Amino acid sequence: MTAESPTTPPTTAPADVHAPPRDRLLSPAHLPMVLAALCVVTLGAYENRAVTTVLPVVARELDGLQWYGLATGVSSLTFLVATAVAGVLGDHRGPRALILTGVVTFVVAQVLTGLAPSMPVLLLGRATSGVAEGLLDIGLVVLVADVMPEHLRARVFAGFAVAWVLPSLLGPFAAGLVAEHWGWRAVFVTPLVLLAVALPPLLTALRDALPRPGGRWRARDRATVGAALLVAAAVGALTWGTAAWATSTLAAPTAAAGAVVLVLAGRRLLPAGTATLSAGIPAAVGLRLLVSATFAAMGTYLPLLLVEVHGTGPRLAGTSLAVTGVCWALGSSVASGDAVRERTSAVQRLRTGLLLMSAGATGPLLLAVGAIGLAPSMLGWCVSTLGMGVATNTLSVRTVELAPAQRQGEVNAAATLAAAIGTALATAGGGALVAAHADHLTGSPFAVVVAAGAVLGLVGTAAAHRVDSP
């Protein structure tokens, strides 16, 4: 949670980039917030890495390989709706209700997924997980805006990425080990244990959340949620249609209808000017979509490529996830450093991150076509994830700075929704290729998806200058 969530910084470093000694990130006043954020993100990161590691095994055992793409992407669909609702509630009610509801929903999701007797029940569990992630992501961002001073927010967002390091290093190995010895169902029990550790600091931090006046939903709020429902339905139709392309006569028209509805509803859901990347908030939101689509295209199917094409086990297949967490955190840490922020603009950092993402795609691409082995391909993937860390931190801080105080929930929800749309579209496209070749899966469809992601990264590079204020 919140690794693919936060987004954005300013053209130049804020004047107050150096905090006074009494107001450091880990000062007593801010420590509960920092611990709460790190605990929740670590919990979500482990759950993400564990599920991604064992999902190829689960799909095979439940006889649902053709639905791998949908199982991967269905949480993004419910995430779309949850973030739209959370954005409205965050502005009206504050982060407390969002986070507490998200915690309960997370527990339900883990139980459903762990006990799933069939692929449909597993999909229901993954869908519930997306709801939990949306509530927790927006709740945390709003809580950071409430509690943390402006000059410390970039470091908190960098901390989100750092919180992915340990789960990325140990999560895939631990999940693979548990799956091999006790079965994949046991993998879904451990996040519930971690949740018990995360709750105390989280409840303490929520005491400092700013009160909200409440109030009735505005017409714009209802329209936003309605559009989110349409977008989720559209992406769901597109994802199902592409997955069932070879097995159902309804697949093609369903996918086409989903694509049309997605374009129409997305125009209402995201800020005006997002599609054309107009300067300021629209560009920040639109680039979040491009960055997420780029990364999803290049990395979502790496574990499946390793398991199904190269014959590796779950533990070794988790290597790509370990690389992701470590290099992402490193990139985010570099982008949030005082020295880097003082010497570079947001545009320069964003452009550098996107270029690294596209350049590093050569590693997975050459692995997919069989030209190189696992080790050298992971070097390239490390470059891509390093760039992802730089790009997402830059966009996270910039979005918070561009949004007026009374629109923090709305704008950050739009950015998170854009990221979910980008992820879902890339996942649907990849899922279509995997489903079409499920009977005899080779590296070719994976190579096509990775190459498409690299091209999207170059498009984002060309548009990076638009995150400047209009």
Where exactly are the structural domains of the chain? 23-467
Which of these CATH numbers, 3.40.50.10470, 1.20.1250.20, 3.40.50.970, 1.10.10.10, describes 23-467? 1.20.1250.20
| CA atoms of 20 and 291, how far apart (whole Å) | 34
> What's the burial of 429, exposed, middle or buried (CB within 10 Å: 0-12/13-18/19+)?
buried
The angle subtended at Cα 184 by Cα 103 and Cα 110, nearest 5°, is 15
- The pair of structure tokens assigned to 360 is 């590093």
- The pair of structure tokens assigned to 165 is 């390091």
Give, for all 470 residues of the chain, the pLDDT tens digit: 544 443 333 333 343 444 444 467 667 767 777 887 888 888 888 887 788 778 878 887 887 776 777 787 788 778 878 888 888 887 777 788 888 999 999 999 999 998 888 888 998 999 999 899 889 988 888 888 777 777 777 777 777 767 777 777 777 778 878 887 888 888 888 788 888 888 888 888 787 776 676 667 777 677 777 777 777 788 778 777 766 665 667 777 887 888 788 777 777 778 888 888 888 888 899 999 999 999 989 888 887 788 777 777 666 666 666 777 778 878 888 888 878 888 888 888 999 999 999 999 999 899 888 888 878 888 899 999 999 999 988 898 888 888 777 677 678 778 877 887 788 788 877 877 777 776 777 878 888 889 999 999 999 999 898 888 66
Tell me which amino acid residue 452 is.
A
| CA atoms of 323 and 317, how far apart (whole Å) | 11
CB neighbours of residue 21 within 10 Å? 7
pLDDT of residue 256: 80
pLDDT of residue 16: 43
